[in-house]
Every structure is written in structure tokens, then in C-alpha cells.
């Protein structure tokens, strides 16, 4: 095993940075942002903090312990979303927040066996929203009443879930309402997560705290000591929700990062200037001298991170969004987009007692944020090596494809259908600011994708924006074939983008500036979300399962409102707008600000 590089990031003559110089700068400046803290860590970013950005107050790193998320088990769980307060750092006061399952912030880790049905009775008990004043009522579906009576929609990200339980963004659960979700979990053992998905306010709900981890187990990945895979378990397996924040001077978490965009208007990005793990700013975790399994989620709204350890030690990726790789892949850094998970092995056995090592990020901000003065948010947490011995087993040689292990990963299937989809940001469409689009259409447009059940498809995801977007498809999992640089200007000149709502998915075949870069070995497993780099075509192979395989009808209709319409005006008003029947799933960008502003479409998977 040799350390791989960070995957497909270098695109020869039209590298990402080079392309950015051609981007439309003026309007984009209003759309993105982020912060930099000049006092954050031992090696603060050089220069003066940007006057265009808000900055978190000073906080000492590593003074708080890393919270370990509680685990809940059972076939029938109650999950309540509630308004809370939470102290993110000992130097800060308590902040308004949202939490699941009695927690102040985030939710408990749900652990469950695959193929055993799970029911979650979800209840919305939210009061006035912590970000009431930040909601943008010009966005799709957002009612004035949401400020004081915010709806939720519980989505199990990565779940192979019936449509009426999937957390459709328009299947809204208002305060005082409940919905029973059915999860058959006929799928692979993997690290999933759950989070809110309510139309137009997903970024506000998730940033406020509505997210949690899910660990799906099977007979191999039991989560118990002595498991057949030889993986660390128990206290040596640690779920870690990585996030970013900006805090106000009085310690309130804030969705706002720049004065350039007025409060209450969509900013376009929710990046932060401090890093969090499991709800704590720059915490420290004491580790034993041994091997650890870290279940890492990028639970941020906006930022792509290049994760590495401060001592540049190597670590191993053993699994992607939907389960284990064939064998561990050694890396020294990796890129993680919002919504993506990686299953990691990290070896502290060679470090002396008292040594520390930081988990860091050096991914530069996107261009639109950089011009406001943003720099990379550099730090998440620190590990302090204790004197006790931990898990002493070796890094396994193999995780699949040998006796006593799960079957090897198959090669990506051969597609029967090739589908082009586009990712764009037509600046002129809505001023200000920009709108984010898939296929040049918005959520209500009926020109949706309708793949047939049982069909293997290749999706060519054509990203003409200069920035990466994490594209997520509900219900399914897929494999990455590769990323090919696109001659974006030529493509657009030959295929002028029509007005919004005219579906626009021209082939990129004649505009490729190859060669295609295959996925890094560490991201070659089962995925449900893919990093789609700016100015590239990303090919994925996705099979849409049949109703028989799923055990439910993925094309069933279901009511928009889970309960009889309540007196809460929001639900009544909303359900009258667009009819009462919903159908199918969604696919979208997992930058939550983008998903909230039309970079999300419905799709149906229809009977073959």
C-alpha cells in the first residue's frame, strides 16, 4: 500500500485556478463568503482579518474535551427535534441551537443492523427559530411563519428508504406534528447520517444543530471487539461530525459571515472560521497508543476540506459513503465535501505518551470567498496520546473478497442509458444574487429525470461553474468512473444557456479536454454523493433498483402533509399551493445554501 495523492485535482492546462480567472467575479462576490480567525491556533493565517467578513471571538484551542456522541439502539425509536441552548466552547456563553433526541446540539448516533426494519417516530417540537431573522422568504417555499413555527423534514442520508419516509423537502412536519418513518435498511453496512431537509430552510435547520450519525452493522462489521474484519471497536471507534461555524461576539452561532449581504437574504454559502467536532470548537481527545477507527462526516453547510494530520502521518481509508472498500488505502490527506463520509483507520501506536497531533484542513476557499478575504479554516481538533495501550491489532490487509469477509466490490456495471445533467449558476437570472441550478430548471419544473427501475445508468454531471459541488442522489448508491476537464467556454458558446426553466443538458462530448482522471483508490467504493469539480464532467454509474429488490414501491405517491393540516397557518397555506400529492425522491447539491436556492430537483424512478 502506498499513499495515494489527493485524487483528481490537477487538470493540466485548464487547472482549477486557471479557469477561475475567467469566472464572473462581480456578482459572485455577493454570493459567497467565509471568515478567518487571526487568533485561532498556533500558526494563525498571515495578514489582517478581512473587514468584509465577520470573525468569531477569541477562543483557546484544545481546552474542551471532544464530546463523544451517545448511541441509541432499538427497532422503534422516538426522535424529537427541539429548541435548545448549547455551549460550543468554554470561553463562549450559551448559544441558541436545535437538537435531536434530547441533545443540546446534533443528535445521538443511531446504531442498527441492516435488513432489520427500523421505525422512527419523529416529532417537531421547535419553537421560534434561532435563525428567524436570517430566513429568506423569497426562497422557494419559505413562509413568513417559518420564523416562529419552523417545519422539519427528517432525512436519513444514504438510506434506501420508501419515498414517504425519505424526508422529502415538501413533506413538512410542523411544530406539534409527528411522522412515523419506516426504514427497511435493506442495504450495506455503512456510516450514514440523518439531518433536516425542509424546503428552503435546510441550511438554517442543519446549521442550528439538526444532524446526527447512523452506524449500520452487519455480521462482518459488528461494531464489537473481535469482529471478523479485525477493526477497532467500542471506545476505539469514534464517530466524528466535522463542522464549521462563525460566532458573534456574545457567543451566538451565526449563519451570517459578511455584511455585504443584508440579514435575511440568502448569502450563498455558510462557511465558518472555526472548526468543530461533535459540537465543540477545537476539542481535544485523549487517545490510547493504538489503532482507531474514525467515522468521519463532513457535516458542514458549505466548505470542502482537505483533511490531514498536523504531523503529516499516513492514515487509511477503509470505507466510503455506503460501505467498505476491498482493502485499506493509505493516504496522507483527502478531500471531503459536505455530506460525504469516510471510514478511517488512524494509528497512534507509534506516538509517545504526551505527544499531540492535530486534525487540520488546508483547502483554499472558493474564489468568490477568497476575494472577500477568506482563508482556509485550518483546524478541527487535537489528539493527545496517553500512556495506555489501545487496540493493538494491525491494519487489516483485506476487508472484502476473502473467506470470512464480505464479497469483493464488483466492477462498475455497464450502463444501458447515458444521461447528461448540468450544474450551473446563471448570474443574470435573478439579481441579486445568483441562483443555483441543475439542468437549468427549478424544483417545481416537471421536466424531471425518470430513470427506469432495474436500469443501470451513466450520469455525466457537467459542471460549468468554477467551483466544486457535492451532488447527492437519494435512494441509490453509485460508483465514480472519473472526472474529465471541460472546455467550459467552448461548451457554453456552442450551447448557449437558455432562460431558466428551459431544460438544458447538452452533451459535453466534443468539449472534453481529457484525459479522464479515475477516482482516487480511496473514493472508489459505493458512494451516494460525489465531488463534482468546477469545469469538469464527472461520470458516475448508478443502478436504480426495482420495487421487488427494495421491498417497497419507490414510485408511490404520498401526501404532502403527514398529518391533518393543523391550525398552524404554515402547513395549511403550503399544502394549498402545490396540490397534496408528492411522488419520488430528490437529487441535489449538498452545499446547503445551494440546495435551498434551487440546486435541487425531484426525480422519479419508474417501472421498467
| Secondary structure of residue 468 in the 3-state scheme | coil
Q: Among residues 152 and 591, whose Cβ is nearest to Cu ion?
A: 591
Smallest gap from residue 393 Cβ to Cu ion (A): 40
Q: Among residues 127 and 364, whose Cβ is nearest to Cu ion?
A: 364
Radius of gyration of the chain from its Cα atoms, rounded to whole angstroms: 23
Do 536 and 513 contact (CB within 8 A), yes or no? no
Smallest gap from residue 436 Cβ to Cu ion (A): 5
Q: Among residues 55 and 197, whose Cβ is nearest to Cu ion?
A: 197
Q: Among residues 412 and 466, whose Cβ is nearest to Cu ion?
A: 466
Smallest gap from residue 171 Cβ to Cu ion (A): 23
Smallest CA-to-CA distance from 234 within 179, 313, 290, 194 is with 290
| Residue 309 burial (10 A CB sphere; 0-12, 13-18, 19+) | middle
According to the 3-state scheme, what is the secondary structure of 480-537?
EEEEEEECHHHHHHHCCCCCCCCCCCCCCHHHECCCCECCCHHHCCCECEEEECCCEE
Q: Among residues 89 and 469, whose Cβ is nearest to Cu ion?
A: 469
Residues that bind Cu ion (CB under 5 A): 469, 589, 591, 594, 599
Distances 219 to 113, 192, 317, 335, 404 between C-alpha atoms, Å: 9, 17, 21, 30, 10
Q: Among residues 145 and 439, whose Cβ is nearest to Cu ion?
A: 439
Smallest gap from residue 529 Cβ to Cu ion (A): 11
Q: Among residues 543 and 594, whose Cβ is nearest to Cu ion?
A: 594
Smallest gap from residue 591 Cβ to Cu ion (A): 4
| Secondary structure of residue 164 in the 3-state scheme | helix
Smallest gap from residue 306 Cβ to Cu ion (A): 18
Distances 565 to 140, 171, 216, 572 between C-alpha atoms, Å: 20, 12, 34, 6
Cα 264 from Cα 261, distance rounded (Å):
8
Distances 519 to 2, 3, 34, 411, 497 between C-alpha atoms, Å: 16, 14, 29, 13, 29
Q: Among residues 257 and 524, whose Cβ is nearest to Cu ion?
A: 257
Helix or strand run (H / E) with residue 236: none
The C-alpha cell that represents 591 in the structure block: 452545499
Residue number with the smallest Cβ distance to Cu ion: 589
Smallest gap from residue 576 Cβ to Cu ion (A): 30
Smallest gap from residue 589 Cβ to Cu ion (A): 3
Amino acid at each position: 500500500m502506498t499513499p495515494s495523492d489527493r485524487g483528481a485535482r490537477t487538470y493540466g492546462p485548464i487547472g482549477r485556478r486557471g479557469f477561475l480567472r475567467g469566472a464572473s467575479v462581480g456578482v459572485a462576490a455577493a454570493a459567497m463568503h467565509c471568515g478567518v480567525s487571526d487568533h485561532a491556533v498556533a500558526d494563525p493565517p498571515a495578514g489582517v482579518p478581512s473587514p468584509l467578513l465577520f470573525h468569531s471571538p477569541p477562543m483557546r484551542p484544545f481546552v474542551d474535551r471532544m464530546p463523544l456522541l451517545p448511541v441509541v439502539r432499538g427497532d422503534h425509536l422516538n426522535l424529537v427535534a427541539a429548541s435548545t441552548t448549547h455551549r460550543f466552547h468554554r470561553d463562549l456563553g450559551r448559544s441558541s441551537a436545535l437538537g435531536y433526541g434530547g441533545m443540546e446540539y446534533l443528535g445521538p448516533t443511531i446504531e442498527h443492523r441492516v435488513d432489520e426494519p427500523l421505525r422512527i417516530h419523529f416529532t417537531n417540537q421547535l419553537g421560534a427559530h434561532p435563525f428567524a431573522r436570517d430566513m429568506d422568504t423569497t426562497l422557494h417555499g419559505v413562509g413568513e411563519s417559518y420564523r416562529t413555527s419552523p417545519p422539519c423534514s427528517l432525512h436519513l442520508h444514504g438510506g434506501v428508504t420508501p419515498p414517504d419516509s425519505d424526508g422529502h423537502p415538501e413533506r413538512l412536519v410542523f411544530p406539534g406534528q409527528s411522522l412515523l418513518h419506516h426504514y427497511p435498511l435493506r442495504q450495506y453496512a455503512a456510516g450514514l447520517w440523518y439531518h433536516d431537509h425542509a424546503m428552503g430552510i435546510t441550511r438554517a435547520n442543519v446549521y442550528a444543530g439538526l444532524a446526527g450519525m447512523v452506524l449500520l452493522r452487519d455480521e462482518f462489521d459488528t461494531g464489537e471487539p473481535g469482529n471478523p474484519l479485525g477493526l477497532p471497536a467500542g471506545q476505539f471507534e469514534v464517530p466524528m461530525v466535522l463542522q464549521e461555524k462563525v460566532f458573534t461576539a456574545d457567543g451566538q452561532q451565526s449563519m451570517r459571515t459578511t455584511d455585504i449581504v443584508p440579514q435575511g437574504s440568502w448569502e450563498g454559502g455558510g462557511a465558518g472560521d472555526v472548526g468543530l467536532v461533535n459540537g465543540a470548537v477545537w476539542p481535544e481527545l485523549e487517545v490510547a497508543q493504538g489503532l482507531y477507527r474514525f467515522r468521519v462526516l463532513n457535516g458542514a453547510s458549505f466548505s470542502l476540506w482537505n483533511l490531514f494530520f498536523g504531523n503529516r502521518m499516513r492514515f487509511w481509508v477503509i470505507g466510503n459513503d455506503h460501505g467498505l472498500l476491498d482493502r485499506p488505502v493509505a493516504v496522507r490527506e483527502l478531500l471531503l465535501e459536505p455530506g460525504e463520509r469516510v471510514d478511517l483507520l488512524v494509528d497512534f501506536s507509534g506516538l509517545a505518551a504526551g505527544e499531540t497531533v492535530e486534525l487540520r484542513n488546508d483547502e483554499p476557499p472558493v474564489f468568490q470567498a477568497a476575494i472577500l478575504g477568506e482563508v482556509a479554516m485550518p483546524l478541527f481538533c487535537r489528539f493527545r496520546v496517553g500512556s495506555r495501550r489501545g487496540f493493538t491489532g494491525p491494519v487489516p490487509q483485506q476487508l472484502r473478497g476473502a473467506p470470512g469477509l464480505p464479497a469483493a466490490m464488483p466492477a462498475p456495471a455497464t450502463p444501458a442509458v447515458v444521461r447528461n445533467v448540468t450544474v450551473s449558476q446563471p448570474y443574470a437570472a435573478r439579481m441579486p444574487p445568483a441562483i443555483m441550478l441543475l439542468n437549468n430548471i427549478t424544483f417545481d419544473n416537471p421536466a424531471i429525470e425518470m430513470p427506469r427501475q432495474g436500469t443501470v445508468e451513466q450520469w455525466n454531471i457537467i459542471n460549468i461553474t468554477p467551483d466544486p459541488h457535492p451532488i447527492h442522489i437519494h435512494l441509490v448508491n453509485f460508483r465514480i468512473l472519473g472526472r474529465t476537464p471541460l472546455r467550459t467556454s467552448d461548451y457554453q458558446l456552442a450551447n448557449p444557456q437558455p432562460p431558466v426553466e428551459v431544460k438544458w443538458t447538452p452533451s459535453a462530448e466534443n468539449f472534453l479536454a481529457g484525459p479522464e482522471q479515475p477516482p482516487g483508490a480511496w473514493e472508489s467504493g459505493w458512494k451516494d454523493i460525489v465531488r463534482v469539480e468546477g469545469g469538469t464532467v464527472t461520470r458516475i454509474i448508478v443502478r436504480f433498483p426495482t420495487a421487488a429488490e427494495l421491498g417497497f414501491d419507490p414510485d408511490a405517491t404520498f401526501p404532502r402533509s403527514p398529518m391533518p393540516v393543523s391550525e398552524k397557518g404554515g402547513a395549511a397555506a403550503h399544502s394549498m399551493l402545490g396540490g397534496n400529492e408528492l411522488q419520488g425522491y430528490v437529487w441535489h447539491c449538498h452545499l446547503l445554501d445551494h440546495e435551498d436556492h434551487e440546486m435541487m430537483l425531484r426525480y422519479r424512478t419508474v417501472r421498467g
